Amino acid sequence: MATLFGARRNVVVETVEAFRENAEAGAERASGHRADVLAQFAAEMAHERRGGWDRFVDGLNRLPRPAMAFGTIGLIGAAMADPVWFMARMEGLALVPEPLWWLMGAIVSFYFGARMQAHGQSFERDMAEALVRMRALRPAAPPAPGPEPIAAPLPRSLPQPSGTGDVNAALEDWRRTQA
């Protein structure tokens, strides 16, 4: 009994924990993780205070996409309500020169592309700042105990292609069997 349970050790528990997680320790880790995530979210939301002008400009920047979507729906409704009126407008659009359509496409593409890139870079910067804050708040935890990974034995040498150039050994073998 002293061998199994002596010196404040429990060999049975240590052996079982090699194959099954200690539920109490797992719950403590999960609770700590949840608390860290909530603290990170709270820090991100409290981080940025913006003025009225910034909020107004952000509101204006959010208008083009809904305006285009509702405008397209409106065009469909206009085509159903008054097809002759709609046909006259579409004939006018057909007379617009092709280079002007290319210019309009480039302007719209650059507008949305620039906004997407700016939002993406802002998101990456915010995530990097949050990661730095999270690492500063939480000390590094030791790795959880568990069995060592089993590495597959590597071959002593890899087969080398015979000859020069792109030689496919399987194809050459098939050609020999077909001949």
- 106: pLDDT strictly greater than 60: yes
pLDDT digits (tens, 9 = 90+) for 83-102: 999 999 999 999 999 999 99
The pTM of the full predicted model, rounded to 2 decimals, is 0.36
- 77: pLDDT strictly greater than 60: yes
pLDDT band at residue 161 under the 50/70/90 scheme? low
pLDDT of residue 141: 61
SS3 assignment for the chain: CHHHHCCCCCHHHHHHHCCCCCHHHHHHHHHHHHHHHHHHHHHHHHHCCCCHHHHHHHHHHCCHHHHHHHHHHHHHHHHHHCHHHHHHHHHHHHCCCHHHHHHHHHHHHHHHHHHHHHHHHHHHHHHHHHHHHHHHHCCCCCCCCCCCCCCCCCCCCCCCCCCCCCCCHHHHHHHHHHC
